């Protein structure tokens, strides 16, 4: 799950790649997304014979990369020992021509950038994977090398023409992807790229033979997907429960792709109570997949076991849902929740008086806003919901992130001042001229503006439903004191007659057991199951709340 504070977009080590699932010599297109918006495409061809394998890519990626790839080619021996890399491209208006040759444990690069000659000579591991920043065909060889490897395995990656780094397989998950009515078995690798500045986590997806499908880098909001699987008819089935049923829900001008999880036993009278699950920021798929944990998928399964029908859905503009992701604001997400509510009330197997909301992180805000606009909701569960305004929360999270870095007081002050300057520009539409253009491109969005302007206390003024605030004691992204603060706001601002707070010990922001709760612990978590104390607390409260409205 991404932090909420805004930073400049960075195209660094773990971006994404492309590979072909076509006949030898065929080319496959890959779409590059930044924060859900397509910004480029690469066409990749892979050829293998007795002499080895070559990967060739051509394409263009717009700002912030601003890269035209006329031709990039990687060559490997049959055992994937690197041989060479060549590049002809234009980056930010400057021509780049490079050729790297690997032999005798050295990688020698010669060429030119902006007409100036460049030469590099580095030691390289025998079977290092060659990688070129911002060129997604780089990941083809990595995907092939990962096939058959186990978790905790490490590989070496040579960043042409800079340095060699380590890539560690954190975890491996077998999944299914859906394209229309067709299913594809895939394998998703959680990878940690160890850079001088720290680790970058990425998710690489390939088929069982190692043919690359796509890569996601959560912290940079970058997603590159094979073109056919980037369509709205495709989605990754990262998690499933008994009783799961794929459905399409009509919203305003488009449909939401969703999954309905039905309890195994029908209730007396045939009408189920129901709950709508709402994910947090940066988690767009219906399963709420965050760092290897399908938060919403697991919550849905637990609800069904308690006799409650659950609905989870892809956010608009993502997966099988229509709509425009780049123009969405928090209020739009709340309208989508209400669309799901209308769809549920029309079902003969759902009791329209017993429909509640569960929102996680930013999803808690969306749920509260939806409840303020639609009083037919029977109750709201806030999981790790923030109590401060959006602008305050961003600065709080930035301060937490800065505390993890070794910076001088002057450096810290500069970063905080820049963040405040960005937020002022977003909220007032004044001062953009004093900021870099790429900062505005990232920050000046409807979503970020709505987040900064969000005031939970103001929203609670129109909330009348019973409220449950659940928070992990070890939550470091949205610290645990937000639970009591949010409940205090509800008691003073809302008309709710039932407000409860539950803090669960030993649980982090992802709702799973943890030791420190810090973000840098996420990749090493052993237990990736939502805490049973969390799910039992929710289901007990929902059962009690639903009984009160029967």
* Token reading at 79: 């055992």
The tens digit of pLDDT for each residue in 344-387 reads 999 999 999 999 999 999 999 999 999 999 999 999 999 999 99
Contact 30, 40 (CB under 8 A): no
Strands 309-313 vs 27-34: parallel, antiparallel or unpaired: unpaired
CA dihedral angle for residue 310, residue 522, residue 135, residue 128, rounded to 10 degrees:
-130
Q: Give 254's contacts (C-beta < 8 A, 6+ positions apart).
A: 316, 321, 322, 323
For residue 13, being part of any structural domain is answered with no
pTM over 0.85: no
Strands 499-504 vs 467-472: parallel, antiparallel or unpaired: parallel
Mark whether 218 and 295 lie in a shared domain. Answer: no
Mark whether 311 and 379 lie in a shared domain. Answer: yes
Burial 286-303 (b: 16+ CB within 10 A, else e): bbbbbbbbbbbbbbbbbb
CA dihedral angle for residue 122, residue 123, residue 129, residue 135, rounded to 10 degrees:
-10
Residue 358's SS3 state is strand
Q: Which range of residues forms the domain containing residue 204?
A: 27-234
Q: Give 507's contacts (C-beta < 8 A, 6+ positions apart).
A: 472, 473, 474, 475, 513, 514, 531, 533, 534
For residue 57, being part of any structural domain is answered with yes
Mark whether 91 and 160 lie in a shared domain. Answer: yes
Give CA–CA dist 407/413, Å, rounded: 10
- Going residue by residue through the chain, which has 550 residues, state the pLDDT in tens, using 9 for 90 and above: 333 322 222 223 322 222 233 333 468 888 888 766 778 899 999 998 999 999 999 999 887 778 899 999 999 999 999 999 999 999 888 899 999 999 999 999 999 988 899 999 999 999 999 999 888 889 989 999 999 899 999 999 999 998 999 999 999 988 877 665 567 788 999 999 987 667 788 899 999 889 999 898 877 778 888 887 765 444 555 578 888 998 999 998 899 999 999 999 988 888 999 999 999 987 788 998 877 789 999 999 999 999 999 999 999 988 788 888 888 999 999 999 999 999 999 999 999 999 999 999 999 999 999 999 999 999 999 999 999 999 999 999 888 888 878 888 998 899 999 999 999 999 999 999 998 887 888 889 999 999 999 999 999 999 999 999 999 999 999 999 999 999 999 999 999 999 999 999 999 999 999 999 988 788 778 888 999 999 999 999 999 999 988 6
Q: How many domains does the structure of the chain reveal?
A: 3
For residue 16, being part of any structural domain is answered with no
Contact 242, 302 (CB under 8 A): no
Mark whether 54 and 104 lie in a shared domain. Answer: yes
Mark whether 379 and 243 lie in a shared domain. Answer: yes
**Sole residue written with tokens 């500069």:** 414
Mark whether 434 and 467 lie in a shared domain. Answer: no
Residue 550's SS3 state is coil
The tens digit of pLDDT for each residue in 286-314 reads 998 877 789 999 999 999 999 999 999 99
Mark whether 422 and 463 lie in a shared domain. Answer: no
Around Cβ 416, how many Cβ atoms within 10 Å? 14
């Amino acid at each position: 799950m991404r932090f909420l504070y805004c930073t400049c977009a960075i195209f660094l080590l773990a971006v994404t790649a492309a590979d072909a699932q076509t006949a030898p010599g065929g080319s496959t297109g890959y779409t590059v997304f930044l924060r859900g918006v397509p910004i480029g495409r690469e066409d990749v061809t892979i050829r293998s014979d007795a002499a080895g394998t070559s990967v060739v890519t051509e394409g263009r990626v717009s700002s912030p990369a601003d890269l035209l790839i006329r031709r990039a080619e990687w060559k490997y021996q049959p055992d994937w020992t690197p041989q060479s890399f060549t590049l002809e491209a234009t980056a930010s208006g400057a021509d780049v021509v490079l050729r790297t040759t690997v032999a005798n444990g050295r990688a020698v690069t010669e060429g030119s950038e902006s007409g100036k000659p460049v030469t590099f000579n580095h030691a390289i591991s025998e079977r290092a994977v060659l990688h070129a920043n911002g060129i997604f065909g780089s990941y083809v060889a990595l995907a092939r090398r990962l096939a058959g490897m186990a978790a905790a395995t490490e590989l070496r990656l040579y960043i042409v023409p800079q340095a060699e780094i380590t890539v560690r397989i954190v975890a491996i998950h077998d999944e299914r992807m859906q394209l229309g009515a067709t299913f594809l078995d895939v394998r998703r690798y959680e990878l940690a790229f160890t850079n001088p500045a720290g680790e970058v986590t990425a998710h690489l997806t390939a088929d069982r033979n190692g043919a690359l499908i796509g890569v996601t880098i959560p912290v940079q909001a970058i997603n590159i997907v094979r073109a056919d699987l980037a369509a709205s008819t495709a989605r990754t089935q990262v998690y499933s429960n008994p009783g799961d049923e794929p459905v399409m829900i009509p919203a305003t001008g488009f449909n939401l792709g969703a999954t309905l999880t039905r309890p195994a036993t029908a209730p007396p009278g045939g009408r189920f109570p129901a709950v709508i699950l709402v994910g947090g920021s940066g988690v767009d798929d219906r399963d709420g997949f965050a760092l290897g944990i399908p938060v919403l998928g697991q919550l849905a399964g637990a609800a069904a076991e308690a006799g409650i029908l659950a609905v989870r859905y892809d956010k608009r503009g993502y997966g099988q849902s229509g709509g425009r992701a780049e123009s969405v604001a928090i209020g739009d997400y709340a309208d989508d929740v209400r669309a799901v509510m209308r769809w549920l009330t029309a079902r003969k197997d759902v009791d329209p008086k017993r429909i509640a909301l569960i929102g996680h992180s930013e999803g808690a805000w969306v749920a509260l806003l939806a409840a303020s606009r639609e009083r037919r909701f029977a109750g709201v569960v806030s999981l790790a919901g923030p109590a401060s305004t959006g602008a305050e929360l961003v600065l709080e999270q930035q301060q937490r992130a800065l505390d993890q870095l070794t910076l001088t007081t002057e450096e810290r002050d500069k970063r905080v001042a820049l963040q405040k300057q960005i937020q002022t520009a977003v909220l007032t539409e004044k001062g953009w001229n004093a900021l870099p253009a790429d900062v505005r491109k990232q920050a000046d969005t409807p979503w970020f503006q709505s987040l900064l302007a969000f005031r939970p206390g103001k929203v609670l003024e129109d909330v009348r439903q019973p409220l449950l605030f659940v928070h992990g004691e070890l939550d470091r992204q949205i610290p645990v004191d937000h639970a009591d603060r949010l409940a205090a706001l509800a008691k003073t601002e809302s008309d709710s007659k039932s407000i409860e707070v539950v803090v669960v010990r030993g649980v982090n922001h992802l709702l799973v057991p943890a030791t420190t709760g810090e973000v840098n612990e996420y990749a090493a978590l052993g237990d990736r199951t939502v805490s049973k104390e969390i799910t039992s607390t929710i289901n007990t409260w929902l059962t009690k709340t639903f009984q009160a409205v029967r």
